[in-house]
Amino acid sequence: MKKKMIRISQKERAYVKEVLDGQFRTSSGGIMTKRLEEKFAALFGVKYAISHINGTATMHAALYAAGIGPGDEVIVPPLTMSSTAFVALHANAVPIFADIDPETFTIDPKDIERRVTPHTRAIIPVALYGLSPDMDAIMDIARRHNLTVIEDDAQCFLGYYKGRIVGSIGHMASFSFQSSKHMTSGEGGMVTTNDKDLADKVRSFSGLGYAMLKAEPGKGRIVKDIIQDPAYERHALVGFNYRMPELCAAVALAQVERLPELVDMRIKIAHLYAQAAQGCRWLVPQAVPESYVHSYWTYVLKLDNNDAFSWYDFRKKYMELGGDGIYAAWQLTYLEPAFRQQRFYPRGCPVHCPHYQGAGQQYEPGLCPVAESVQPRLLQFKTSYVDMDIAEQKAEALAQTIKYFGK
């Protein structure tokens, strides 16, 4: 019998009970949030960690802190969850899609460079499937063009890039605690940064624009002497209510304390798939450059068989042989109906941006040809099993599927 991982342990339950025992009294509120932010910042080697309700709110707050607004362009990859592009629209900015590297599937710095215009203000690179993009090249572009880099690390916990932990390299980084991620609180997220000014702006924006909110853990609440003053002017800006609830913070705190083992389990499962696929000529794994550490939110193979059989044929046989359903990669964001049909126009921007019409991207096929070639051929295998016996069965199903079609 192999080791079993308990996704939600007694530690999470104990911390939740601690919050419930506090009866949600305002005077005791924010204790778990403070502990979570301190622990997260320490683990990721950053000065500030600001908790949020989810991993989309995190990027929206980061864009606000970077001063992104109407008419600004934000460069994003097309191959990832669409929230990465949506947040540019939430900030009334223009999402600009840069193509991907054909081997790592992460955003290609060379294409980022080609997409930079006088209106570009930020880049949101994604650590796809648990693998960092080439952050040195991206940060170099940012320095030369005075751009803000916001890492989208929703899929990458305890990944490393050339000895540096992912989430500590860009000007800010965004993490998601959604239920499929390495660690979870059901929903939740975190922004990390070493810049106090950015951290203060993120904190205020995510807390309804309250004037006294500051970056440091525990500074997300207003003391009684201030909030009870009739002359207190609360809102320095029009912010959003993106704060993480204490119950979510309690679960997330326990998950952060257990994060190394949670990540290690996924890496071990990914290695089982890698062994099963070893030697197969028509299944190509996501390339992991030297000095990168992949954290394997999922294990990904590219079907490269000259159409000898279809993606659907492979998935069907894998399931017949005992595998779970294989997930496809997301449809490229700019090919989703909301972008193809430009349904964001009623929001006012980018339609009201004078440089957008004609100069901006047309969201249609041909925009990112590498991503368009890769996306339909990707096979995403689950690494979230809590039982290694089950994971081994799924890896064996992969091996048998490869054997069926012939190596």
Q: What angle do CA 339, 372, 302 make, to 5 degrees?
A: 130
The residue type found at 339 is F
Q: Which residues have C-beta within 8 Å of that of residue 66, sequence separation ≥ 6?
A: 121, 122, 148, 150, 171, 172, 198
Catalytic residue set: 181
Which of 205, 78, 235 shows the shortest CA–CA distance to 152? 78
What would the 3-class secondary structure string for the chain be? CCCECCCCCHHHHHHHHHHHHCCCCHHHCCHHHHHHHHHHHHHCCCCEEEEECCCCHHHHHHHHHCCCCCCCEEEECCCCCCHHHHHHHHCCCEEEECCECCCCCCECHHHHHHHCCCCEEEECCECECCECCCHHHHHHHHHHHCCEEEEECCCCCCCEECCEECCCCCCEEEEECCCCCCCCCCCCEEEEECCHHHHHHHHHHHECCECCCCCCCCCCCCCHHHHCCCCCCCECCCCCECCCCHHHHHHHHHHHHCHHHHHHHHHHHHHHHHHHHCCCCCEEECCCCCCEECCCCEEEEEECCCCCCCHHHHHHHHHHCCCCCCECCCCCHHHCHHHHCCCCHHHCCCCCCCCCCCCCCCCCCCCCHHHHHHHHHEEEEECCCCEHHHHHHHHHHHHHHHHHHCC
> How far apart are alpha carbons 3 and 216 in whole angstroms?
39
The residue type found at 124 is I
